Structure 1
Amino acid sequence: MSFFLSPRQVVVAGAGPVGMTLAIELGRRGIDVLIVDPSPATTTNPRCNTTNARSMEYFRRIGIADAIRRAGLPLDHQTDVIYVTNLTGHELLRFPFSSAQEILDGTAFEFQEWPTPEPQHRVSQIFLEPIIEERLRDFPTVELRRGWEATGLTQAADSASVTLRNVDTGEEEVVRALFVLGCDGGSSVVRKSIGARLEGDSTAAEERLSVYFRSPELRSILGPDAGWMYWWYGSVHRGSFLQLDGRDLFLLHGRVPEGMDPDDLDPDEVMLAAIGRTVEHEKIQVIRWTPRRLVSNKFVEGRVALAGDAAHLWLPLGGFGMNTGIADAVGLGWRIAALVTGVGDPQLLQDYEIERRSVGEATSHAALRIDRDMKQIGRDPMLHEASPAGEALRAEAGDAIATIDRKQWYSQGVQFGSRYSTSPGIVGSEPPSDSAIATIDEYVPSTVAGGRLPHVWLPDHVSLFDRLGMEWSLLTIGASTADVAEIAEAAKSNHMELTVVPVLTADAGVLDRKLILVRPDMFIAWSGDAGPRDPAELVQGLLGQRTPGHAAGR
């Protein structure tokens, strides 16, 4: 066993989308990062297939949104979600969505319905990860080591030591770091090292069988009106189906019938039920898995913190899983950088746990609710009959889907509506609520502290988000010069990097307060029409410089 002579500032275990995004957040701030992953390359498992609007807003800030938008399906491919008896059978309902090209051109109808400069994008994780990795390699302070895994971890007062093993040779090294961040998945070694455990529902729904396959024949069978995702309702089997590249790569999910051993379910039987006929194909991967709803009982201990699947696992509905992890990474990244540089105090990590654990719990329940709401639709075998009764039943099923499942695809509440009303690191929030997410599909823009900064289009079609600084930003909409100067001086005195962003009242839109202080993760930390009572206390509190239990600036 050998030791690095020089300690690292941060070690990140796990180089999936969450770990790499976290490493980018640190690297763009000049933090020394070692990120390790046992895989020799980016994933070959097409697990997550939606990068939601909030993640796209974050990816816009790190400069890769357009590259992601151009990946996956062909640019002109529609991204409709279609409900069918099977892929060659009857259509029950269709939710229309624009192509990537229409979004890039600015002509997509989503810009009228979604309060964001970056609508959600349908792209498989197999195409997303290489783009994130390419951006990661732009930062000289970040070292990516593939073929290495974290196998153990210990902590001291001033550091944490993580044992790394080369998966090919068995060679081991111990690296000492100021912080170790676990993005190493559901079986996280880092989570186990701090004695944290996943809690919730270990079997939240019927078990699943997934088939990732190649078929040059199938795309032509789907026809010119093909969508991106299909939900199919067979007489025995049911599940979902995705086009991954618009050519010959597909992913099929099927529910294992209740009472059946997953190993007894024949993948070809499920494929036939989904497609409605046999097609020439090559199976790339067949996986049997159990849907869960699990959240870690703690996200932080000492110099160790968790993000992504290491902190929470649930059904892959609505794209909620990976995207919640991306938000974890952004919320954790600026805090770790503040701690490494001495700008912030350790209370910042407790704020992270309170905020992201509350969102994890709320989002996991939202995913489970979608699955349970859809469970009873399309159960009548007559749904498949070519008869007036079958036609009437299909119309009825389509109406039910339109009412029940629309929220999965228009999940603005999940994507934009998270509120950190219980966080000590937020000043002036609304009274605490029972859930960090009020509803799945409703979002009301607000400048009250604790919520996402609302998006506003400025003149020349510039997004307000593009005017923000990399760290803290102070939006001023008709505020007094003295109030702005006091906050700016308090920030400077406490080494808080602050960008002042003047916004004309005529351009402010939903920005209804004169002063809005925005965190690096684009959440509102404080807002008001006049300056705070004590600007220095406000700034210090937001940087974690407060006694435990004392809310920032109060």
Structure 2
Amino acid sequence: MVREQSGITQTRSDHDRLMVLLVFRSKGLHQLLEWYPGKSYYNVLDPELKGYWKFFGRVDLGTTWFFHAPVPLGTTKDNFDFRQYLHAAVGAEFDVEFEHIGFWDLRVATADAYRKGRVFIAGDAAHSHPPYGGYGINTGLEDAVNLGWKLAATLQGWAGVRLLDTYDEERRPVFQSTARDFIERAIAADRQFLDAFHPDHDRSTFEREWQARSSGAKAEINAFEPNYRGSSIVWGDSGGGCSALGSHSFEARAGHHLAPLLLSSGRNIFEDLGQGFCLLALDAADSFLGRFEAAAKQRGVPLKIISDTCQDGRGQYHARLILIRPDQFVAWASSDSGTDAAEVLERAIGAEQRQEPSIGQQP
């Protein structure tokens, strides 16, 4: 409602699929699936569905379940045998006690802007997609974290004039990539798999390729690494763009989430970051730290400095100086203590647009 009243339009990708959501209780299904311990949800692929899933999972560790699946257009609570549909999906009969029967349209929708004047949108108001992969809650939470620190900076008076605009710049492309590179691609990949392999045609080949899918699923999970590479407020490769596609690494990379490592105190770095900016200084010159502290004080930017050594694995960051934003993403990473501290900080708060920080005399 807020999005519509603000005049923010949407771009939608409709799949022309009506989906049913069933919430039900069943002791019998719980007993059937004891053969597959440690699993919380299950996908059912059907060649007739062209890559769209029937999938069900546990609401709790007992006997409550959910089930999503395509149904014919025009289906209602009263004209469809949902019990039989469940039995066909599982391949066995079991007791069913329905608690909820609802419907939703399978589509991907993205707001064409996450900001309009003084109005900001996040979460489901900004984007929606089918519940494939659990990406929705991750995306919504990161929206809130990204917008939250930028709003706080603005209200506290230390944000640059461009900082609030970078909420849309960083977050909207991440969702677009999530929808395109993970959800839409998964539907297409399942469709192609079912077109190519069928147990009735060549069972051994089907089983071999089916097992190979598990390694592909792991690769997909490892590729999900939302990042702000190329953002105007991080120092790094300007040739990239904000995306959900990436790779996981301990290296401190501008625009990427900081990896967890232990400090020499034995505490995890995330326990000591604080709520503002943090400069992690590993075997760094005191003169540079003083310049950085002075630059932050002049701008009123909350800054915590953590000094430590590169020993005990912290060299994996591949940088001695790492500026970490309040949302735990790296704004700048370098080992050059001759860099202009004020320029680094000003870009990180949206106050300037130089492509590379100036290099001064090495101490």
- TM surpasses 0.5: yes
CA deviation vs aligned residue, 1:30-75 (integer Å, no higher than 9, x gap): xxxxxxxxxxxxxxxxxxxxxxxxxxxxxxxxxxxxxxxxxxxxxx
The residue identity in structure 2 corresponding to 1:432 is: G
Change over 3 Å in CA distance of 1:432–1:205 after alignment to 2: farther
Change over 3 Å in CA distance of 1:407–1:206 after alignment to 2: farther
Given that 1:456 and 1:509 are in contact with CA atoms closer than 8 Å, whether structure 2 keeps it comes out as no
Partner SS state of residue 489, structure 1? helix
Q: In structure 1, which of residues 525, 528, 545 is the aligned counterpart of residue 331 of structure 2?
A: 525
Q: In structure 1, which of residues 415, 427, 430 is the aligned counterpart of residue 237 of structure 2?
A: 430
Moved more, 523-532 or 510-519: 523-532
- Structure 2 residue aligned with 1:285: 100
Report whether the alignment pairs 1:219 with 2:34.
Answer: no
Work out the CA distance in 1 between the residues paired with 2:15 and 2:218: 21
Partner SS state of residue 375, structure 1? helix
Given that 1:446 and 1:454 are in contact with CA atoms closer than 8 Å, whether structure 2 keeps it comes out as yes
Work out the CA distance in 2 between the residues paired with 1:526 and 1:540: 11
Change over 3 Å in CA distance of 1:459–1:515 after alignment to 2: closer
Q: In structure 1, which of residues 205, 209, 224 is the aligned counterpart of residue 20 of structure 2?
A: 209
Moved more, 325-334 or 237-246: 237-246
Q: In structure 1, which of residues 492, 510, 523 is the aligned counterpart of residue 316 of structure 2?
A: 510
Aligned residues: 350
Given that 1:424 and 1:552 are in contact with CA atoms closer than 8 Å, whether structure 2 keeps it comes out as no
Given that 1:377 and 1:400 are in contact with CA atoms closer than 8 Å, whether structure 2 keeps it comes out as no
- Structure 1 residue aligned with 2:213: 401
The residue identity in structure 1 corresponding to 2:185 is: R
Partner SS state of residue 231, structure 1? strand
Report whether the alignment pairs 1:309 with 2:113.
Answer: no
Given that 2:231 and 2:238 are in contact with CA atoms closer than 8 Å, whether structure 1 keeps it comes out as no
Work out the CA distance in 2 between the residues paired with 1:526 and 1:380: 46
Change over 3 Å in CA distance of 1:322–1:205 after alignment to 2: farther
- Structure 2 residue aligned with 1:348: 163
Residues 287-436 of structure 1: matches in 2 within 5 Å? Answer: 287-366=102-181, 367-378=183-194, 383=199, 391-392=203-204, 394-402=206-214, 404-408=216-220, 411-414=221-224, 417-427=225-235, 429-433=236-240, 436=243
The residue identity in structure 1 corresponding to 2:166 is: D
Given that 2:18 and 2:103 are in contact with CA atoms closer than 8 Å, whether structure 1 keeps it comes out as yes
Change over 3 Å in CA distance of 1:309–1:303 after alignment to 2: same
Residues 85-124 of structure 1: matches in 2 within 5 Å? Answer: none
Q: In structure 2, which of residues 311, 323, 347 is the aligned counterpart of residue 541 of structure 1?
A: 347
- Structure 2 residue aligned with 1:55: none
Work out the CA distance in 1 between the residues paired with 2:130 and 2:184: 7
Using the size of structure 2 for normalisation, the TM-score is 0.86
Given that 1:355 and 1:420 are in contact with CA atoms closer than 8 Å, whether structure 2 keeps it comes out as yes
Given that 2:160 and 2:346 are in contact with CA atoms closer than 8 Å, whether structure 1 keeps it comes out as no
Given that 2:56 and 2:66 are in contact with CA atoms closer than 8 Å, whether structure 1 keeps it comes out as yes
Partner SS state of residue 291, structure 1? strand
Residues 21-170 of structure 1: matches in 2 within 5 Å? Answer: none
Given that 1:312 and 1:360 are in contact with CA atoms closer than 8 Å, whether structure 2 keeps it comes out as yes
State the shift of 1:281 in Å: 2.1
The residue identity in structure 2 corresponding to 1:517 is: L
Change over 3 Å in CA distance of 1:515–1:247 after alignment to 2: same
Work out the CA distance in 2 between the residues paired with 1:281 and 1:459: 56
State the shift of 1:434 in Å: 5.4
CA deviation vs aligned residue, 1:412-455 (integer Å, no higher than 9, x gap): 332xx33323322112x11322562345xx43443232111122
Given that 2:197 and 2:206 are in contact with CA atoms closer than 8 Å, whether structure 1 keeps it comes out as no
Change over 3 Å in CA distance of 1:539–1:397 after alignment to 2: closer
State the shift of 1:274 in Å: 1.8
CA deviation vs aligned residue, 1:505-553 (integer Å, no higher than 9, x gap): 113142111110000011111122123643234323322334xx66696
State the shift of 1:481 in Å: 0.8
Percent identical pairs in the alignment equals 25
Unaligned stretches of 5+ residues in structure 1:
1-188
Work out the CA distance in 2 between the residues paired with 1:445 and 1:292: 36
Change over 3 Å in CA distance of 1:286–1:379 after alignment to 2: farther
Change over 3 Å in CA distance of 1:381–1:196 after alignment to 2: same
CA RMSD across the alignment = 2.8
Using the size of structure 1 for normalisation, the TM-score is 0.58
Work out the CA distance in 2 between the residues paired with 1:262 and 1:509: 59
- Structure 1 residue aligned with 2:68: 253
State the shift of 1:379 in Å: 6.5
Work out the CA distance in 2 between the residues paired with 1:262 and 1:403: 37
- Structure 2 residue aligned with 1:191: 3
State the shift of 1:290 in Å: 1.8
Change over 3 Å in CA distance of 1:236–1:448 after alignment to 2: closer
